[in-house]
Amino acid sequence: MQRDAKIYVAGHRGMVGSALVRRLQRAGFWNLVMRSSQELDLRNQAEVAAFFADEKPAYVFLAAAKVGGIVANNTCRADFIYDNLLINTNVIGQSHRHEVRKLLFLGSSCIYPKHAPQPIKEEYLLTGPLEATNEPYAIAKIAGLKLCEALHDQYGCQFISAMPTNLYGPGDNYHLQNSHVLPALLRRFHEAQVQKLPEVQIWGTGTPCREFLHVDDLADACLHLMLHYTGANPINIGTGLDISIRDLALLIKEITGYEGAIQFDYSKPDGTPRKLLDVSKMCRLGWGYTIALREGIEDVYRRDFLSKRTEKAGQKVD
């Protein structure tokens, strides 16, 4: 990509999109096109078509999506599949129609079967049932990557797909009901520490294992793929390391300085027992993560909870 190439970052205000913008700007790419959801509704085909006709971006990073944690995914199932199908179809379809040179579609590790062998290889896709709680979101993501794959095979479009593991980072969603596990735990332990609460309750048994990647590492990986990957098949992005929810809770307890007890609610669902990506393909492309989990969580905690300018970050997202 030339440094002056016009690049559209869809979802630039989100955690992933904003990290992509930071990484691209740091690499010297300056001709970035961005629209907020108020300026451009990606669910609206006519609006998206008009945007592509006017702007004619050469490259597209599709990071826009309706996202949420286990409660949101399981409660708003129709919204998650409907909105994400529309976003994916409109952006990818118009990218093809307006001859975008290269597009990177960001999927999710939840597209893989609930009981897939670990670590999860890309070829395990569609080999078994999905985790029920986030099935609608996963199906929409699978449809998006299959659309990229089909356009790649039929028309020669350089549309590639990346499957990131669980993400965290600056500007995450800290809503207690709609966020993912790591940011939700950060907020719970922070508030418990500030309010001197006697215990923190956590859903499930604490035994499921998850892999976590700092969003700045993801952004770096995405740029690496745009520059070095042309395959039709999706490619995993992660650390290749996982941690149990119990150990994650203990780590966050230590980082926040909370001194109370941890209580696991066994009546609540655990979700997928383990989700660890096989990142060997990404490693062979010459990329690896650089931000260790403790280092990343400490940095996020300082930025989003302890710094004066965002000292109320846990409350403002409600």
Residue whose entry in the numeric block shows the structure tokens 């040179």:
101
DSSP readout, 52-65?
Answer: HHHH--SEEEE---
Q: Evaluate whether 154 touches 162 at the Cβ level (below 8 Å).
A: no
Residue 288 near residue 247 (C-beta atoms within 8 A)? no
Query: Is 166 marked as a binding-site residue?
Result: yes
Residue 186 C-alpha from the chain's centroid: 17
Is residue 137 annotated as part of the catalytic site, yes or no? yes
Does 11 count as an annotated binding residue? Answer: yes
Catalytic residue, from 8, 59, 112, 137: name it: 137
240 annotated binding-site participant:
no
Q: Do the annotations mark residue 109 as ligand-binding?
A: yes
164 is in an annotated binding site: yes
Max CA-CA distance within the chain? 60
**How many Cβ atoms sit within 10 Å of the Cβ of residue 159?**
25
Q: Is 203 labelled a binding residue? A: yes
Q: Please state the φ and ψ torsions of residue 244, each to the nearest 5 degrees.
A: -70, 155
Separation of alpha carbons 113 and 228, rounded Å: 28
Q: Binding site annotation covers 270? A: yes
Q: Is 167 annotated as a binding residue?
A: yes
Residue 165 assigned ligand-binding role:
yes
Q: Is 187 annotated as ligand-binding? A: no
Distance between CA 153 and CA 90 in Å, rounded?
19
Beta strands in the chain (DSSP E): 7-10, 32-33, 59-62, 102-106, 158-164, 166-168, 199-203, 209-210, 212-214, 235-237, 243-244, 261-265, 274-275
- In whole angstroms, give the CA distance from residue 69 to residue 127: 24
Q: Is 14 annotated as a binding residue?
A: yes
Instruction: Report whether 316 belongs to an annotated binding site.
Output: no
286 assigned to a ligand binding site: no
The annotation status of 265 as a binding-site residue, yes or no, is no
Give binding residues as ranges. Answer: 11-17, 106-109, 141, 164-167, 180, 188, 203, 210, 270
Give binding residues for substrate as ranges. Answer: 188, 203, 210, 270
Give binding residues for NADP(+) as ranges. Answer: 11-17, 106-109, 141, 164-167, 180
Question: Which residues are designated catalytic?
Answer: 137
